[in-house]
Structure 1
Amino acid sequence: MSEDARFEDGVASSLNIGAQDADDLKILSALVQDAIFPTTEMRYFASERRFAVLLNRFRWEEERTPKPERVQSVLHFSDVTSVSSQGIDRADKDMVLSVLSVEFEAGEAPSGHVILTLAGDGAIRLDVEALDVTLKDVTRPYVAPSKKIPNHE
C-alpha cells in the first residue's frame, strides 16, 4: 500500500504559525497575500465556532527557489460567532478568490472583526470573541502554474 507524500518529506520547511493579536496578524496577512482559493474551499462550522479556508498560498517567505512556488495551506480561525461576505457568489462553484489582506478591527476587548479583503471588491467578515488564527502548510510546495511572482502594478 502506498502512502501519500507528506510535506516533511520535502527539502523546504512548512509553515505552522499563529496570530493572537493585531501585530501577529499583520505577519500572517503578508504570508497569505495573493493566496487563491475557490469558493468551495471555505467552511464555517457554526456549532464549533470555526472558519477555515484551504488556500493555494504563494510562498513569499521562500526566496531561494529558482522558480516561484505555491503551497496548499489551511487558514483557520477559532472563536468565530458569525460570518458574512460581500462580492462573493457562493452559487458559482467555479469562482476563484484572491486574498489581498487579513486585518483585525478591535471591538470590546478581546472581541472584534477579522476582515479578509479579496481582489475584485470582495470581502469576508468574521465576528470573533478573540483573535485566534493559525496558518499551516498541508502539502509540499509546487511550482506556481503561472511561473511568475504576483505583481501589483
Structure 2
Amino acid sequence: MTDLKLLALDSEDLDVISATTQDAIVRVGDMGYAKADQRFALLMNRYAWEDGGNAKTGVRKRAALHFDRVTGVKVAGIDTNSLEGALELLTIRFTENAAPSGWVDLAFAGGGTVRLEVEVLEARLQDLGAAWAAKVKPEHAG
C-alpha cells in the first residue's frame, strides 16, 4: 500500500486531492491557520479510496493537507470552540477570482464550510504512515 503525496497548482489537480480526501474525518482541533506563514493546515483520517474502494470496509490513513499563500480564512457552520468535534469532508473546490488568486472552499457534511482566500492555488496532501481497517465503507446516494 503506497502512501500518497500530491501537489495541486490548478483546479484539475485540486479535483484529484478532493477525490482522495472525500469522506475524510477531520477533528476541529486539527485545523489551523498560521497567518504569519500564510498557511492553512489540517490533519485527517482519510478513507483510502484507491486502496479499499472495492472492499467491504476498506482502510483509512492519517494524512496532512496544507494550503500555502493563504491571505484569509472564513468559517461558517462549524463550532470552532468544539476542538474535539469531528467533521466529514465532502469536497474541496477552487474558484478563481482575479487570476491567479481566488478562494478554496472545503465543504463538510451538515453544511459547514471553510473558505480560504488565496493569492494562488498551492496545496499539498501527504499520507503520514500506517493504514488501519475502516469501521465502515462510506456510502453515497447516486
Could you say which TM-score interval applies, normalised by the shorter chain?
over 0.9
Percent sequence identity over matched residues? 38
- Distance in 2, Cα, partners of 1:66 & 1:22: 31
Aligned length: 140
What corresponds to 1:85 in structure 2? 75
What corresponds to 2:111 in structure 1? 121
3-state DSSP of counterpart to 1:93 = coil
Amino acid across the alignment from 2:138? P
- Structure 2 unaligned spans of 5+: none
What corresponds to 1:42 in structure 2? 31
TM-score (norm 1): 0.88
- Structure 1 unaligned spans of 5+: 1-11
- Distance in 2, Cα, partners of 1:57 & 1:137: 9
What corresponds to 1:96 in structure 2? 86
Is residue 68 from structure 1 mapped to residue 58 from structure 2 by the alignment?
Answer: yes
Is residue 151 from structure 1 mapped to residue 139 from structure 2 by the alignment?
Answer: yes
Question: CA contact under 8 A between 2:56 and 2:137: conserved in structure 1?
Answer: no
TM-score (norm 2): 0.94
- Distance in 1, Cα, partners of 2:119 & 2:84: 32
Is residue 59 from structure 1 mapped to residue 56 from structure 2 by the alignment?
Answer: no
Amino acid across the alignment from 1:59? A
Tell me which moved more, 87-96 or 23-32: 87-96
| Pair member with larger Rg | 1
3-state DSSP of counterpart to 1:104 = strand
Greater share of strand: 2
The structural deviation recorded for 1:19 is 0.5
What corresponds to 1:134 in structure 2? 124
CA RMSD of aligned residues (A): 1.3
